[in-house]
């Protein structure tokens, strides 16, 4: 093993262990996906020629190209996922803002706030 | 429109963002109609709320700028909670002519349709720049392709909804894509609708706050996102 392997593999090993512990605690599927990523990282660092073998099988040629292409695909997917999460989050924030605005409706000049004024908030 | 229609059941919703200099004039033009008015200040940085509070209108304020679609939905929710039977959406920048209000309300109050959509191309569009006209025509084509609605003006902020239509339509696109979303829902819900000729007056201010070609691309992206993430 070279120096990089001595540094990287223990770090990834700790992350993989923490992921197992997190999964045992809350049983969320995301931990299985992360565990797969850490184990894949350990495998590829331990067996660097595996990427070259896989790249040759896929007709790409070089292992580094395979890693680069995979990174590009995962990044694109990740950005798409984050955009979606952000979109939904912003929509939820708007609902909170709306509830605040409805609760604090203010009558302008010449309009009176009646004692029974109450806004029925939408359920969704 | 019947003479004895109950004006207290008509609510005008105005979404306003940094409109302190124009909201007063816009509201004054509508006050004589006798209808209820609600101004939704969409997180303005200027004195929009303070100016609105000095007028005979209800004022709601978004603490954070959330977009015109979000502000309109807030105003519609408020109007519905106050027993509105007809809800008008009206732009804050003074582009619309309050004189068009009676003919816009008539089909909904007479229960002929569920939604009335103002059309500047059936009516008058004063001082409309060529680029804006082309952009709006492209939007019409887009709407015809995506919804099947044969409309002449798809991004006109002057609309009237019956109570039942306003309860069915839910604006989930917070920003400018709400105009297309409303039409999308009118088509999906098969709401009875009609276009009514209205007048729109463009000013330098309103053009600066209006949509650009790049906005059209962004709106398309927002509509696509809205369909992907329900």
Q: How large is the ipTM? A: 0.82
Answer yes or no: is pLDDT of B190 > 60: yes
Cβ contact (<8 Å) for B229 and A111? no
For B198-227, the pLDDT digits (tens) are: 999 887 666 666 666 566 666 666 666 766
Residue B62: list chain A partners with CB under 8 A. 97-98, 100-101
Q: With 60 as the cut, is the pLDDT of residue A116 above it?
A: no
What pLDDT is stored for residue B207 in this prediction?
62
What pLDDT band is residue B89 in, cutting at 50, 70 and 90? very high
pLDDT band at B2 (very low <50, low <70, confident <90, very high): very low
- Smallest Cβ–Cβ distance between A101 and the set B60, B225, B229 belongs to B60
Q: Would you call A104 and B60 a contact, using CB atoms and an 8 Å cutoff? A: yes
Q: What is A27-83 written as a DSSP string?
A: --HHHHHHHHHHHHHHHHHH-THHHHHHHHHHT---HHHHHHHHHHHHHHHHHHHHH
B59 close contact with A: CB closer than 8 A: yes
Calculate the alpha carbon distances from A72 to A30, A66, A68, B50, B134 in Å.
21, 10, 6, 51, 38
Q: Is A122 on the interface with B (CB under 8 A)?
A: yes
> From the candidates A101, A102, A122, A123, which should be mutated to test the interface with B, based on the most B CB atoms within 10 A?
A101
pLDDT at A124: 47
Contact B55 A109 (CB under 8 A): yes
3-class SS letters over chain B: CCCCCCHHHEEEEEEECCCCCCHHHHHHHHHCCCCEEEEEEECCCCCHHHHHHCCCCEEEEECCCCCHHHHHHHHHHHHHHCCCCEEEECCCCCCECHHHHHHHHHHHHCCCCCEEEEEEEEEEEECCCHHHHHHHHHHHHHHHHHHCCCCCCCCCCCEEEEHHHHHHCCCCCCCCCHHHHHHHHHHHCCCCEEEEEEEEECCHHHHHHCCCHHHHHHHHHHHHHHHHCC
Mean pLDDT of B51-77: 96
Q: Span B166-178, mean pLDDT?
A: 86
Residue B127 pLDDT more than 80?
no
Q: Quote the pTM value.
A: 0.79
Comparing CB atoms, the residue among B56, B225, B228 nearest residue A108 is B56
State how far the Cα of B50 lies from the Cα of A101, in Å rounded to an integer: 15
Nearest CB to B62: which of A97, A111, A121? Answer: A97
DSSP state of A115: T
Pick from B61, B66, B228: CB nearest A84: B228
Q: What are the φ/ψ torsions at residue B15 (nearest 5 degrees)? A: -90, 125
Report the alpha-carbon distance of residue A84 to residue A89 in Å, rounded: 8
Q: What is the distance in angstroms between the Cα of B131 and the nearest Cα belonging to chain A?
A: 30
Residues B134-161: tens digit of each pLDDT: 888 888 888 888 888 999 998 899 999 9
β-strand pairing of B193-201 with B115-126: parallel
Q: How many beta-carbon pairs under 8 angstroms link A with B? A: 78
**pLDDT one-digit tens code per residue, A61-113:** 888 898 899 999 999 999 999 988 998 899 899 999 999 999 999 999 888 76
**CB proximity B218 to A under 8 Å:** no
Phi, psi of B114, deg, nearest 5: -95, -25
Out of B40, B55, B70, closest to residue A108 by CB = B55
Q: Is the pLDDT of residue B19 over 90?
A: yes
Q: Judge contact between A20 and A32, C-beta under 8 A.
A: no
- Decide if B172 touches A, using CB distance below 8 A: yes
In three-state secondary structure terms, A3 is helix
Query: CB distance B78–A106 less than 8 Å?
Result: no
CA closest to A80 among chain B residues? B225
């Amino acid at each position: 093993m070279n120096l990089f392997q001595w540094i990287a593999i223990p770090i990834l090993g700790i992350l993989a262990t923490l992921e197992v512990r997190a999964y045992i605690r809350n049983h969320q599927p995301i931990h299985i996906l992360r565990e797969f990523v850490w184990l894949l990282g350990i495998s590829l660092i331990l067996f660097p020629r595996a990427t070259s073998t896989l790249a040759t099988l896929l007709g790409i040629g070089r292992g580094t190209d395979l890693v680069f292409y995979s990174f590009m695909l995962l990044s694109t997917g990740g950005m798409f996922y984050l955009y979606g999460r952000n979109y939904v989050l912003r929509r939820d924030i708007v609902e909170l803002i709306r509830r605040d605005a409805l609760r604090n409706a203010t009558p302008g000049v010449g309009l009176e706030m009646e004692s029974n004024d109450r806004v029925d908030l939408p359920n969704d | 429109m019947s003479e004895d229609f109950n004006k207290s059941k008509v609510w005008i919703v105005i979404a306003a963002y940094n409109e302190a200099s124009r909201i007063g004039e816009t509201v004054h033009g509508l006050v004589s109609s006798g209808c209820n008015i609600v101004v939704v200040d969409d997180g303005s940085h200027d004195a929009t709320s303070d100016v609105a509070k000095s007028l005979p209108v209800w004022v709601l304020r978004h603490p954070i700028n959330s977009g015109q679609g979000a502000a309109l939905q807030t105003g519609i929710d408020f109007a519905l909670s106050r027993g509105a039977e007809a809800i008008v959406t009206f732009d804050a920048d003074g582009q619309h002519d309050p004189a068009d209000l009676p003919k816009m309300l008539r089909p909904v109050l007479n229960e002929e349709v569920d939604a009335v959509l103002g059309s500047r191309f059936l009516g008058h569009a004063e001082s409309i720049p060529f680029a804006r006209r082309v952009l709006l025509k492209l939007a019409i084509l887009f709407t015809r392709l995506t919804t099947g609605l044969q409309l002449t003006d798809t991004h006109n902020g002057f609309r009237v909804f019956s109570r039942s239509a306003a309860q069915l339509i839910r604006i989930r696109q917070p920003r400018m894509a709400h105009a297309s979303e409303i039409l999308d829902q009118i088509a999906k819900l098969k709401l009875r609708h009609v276009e009514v000729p209205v007048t729109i007056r463009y000013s330098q201010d309103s053009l600066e706050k209006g949509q650009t070609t790049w906005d059209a691309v962004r709106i398309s992206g927002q509509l696509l996102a809205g369909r992907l993430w329900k």
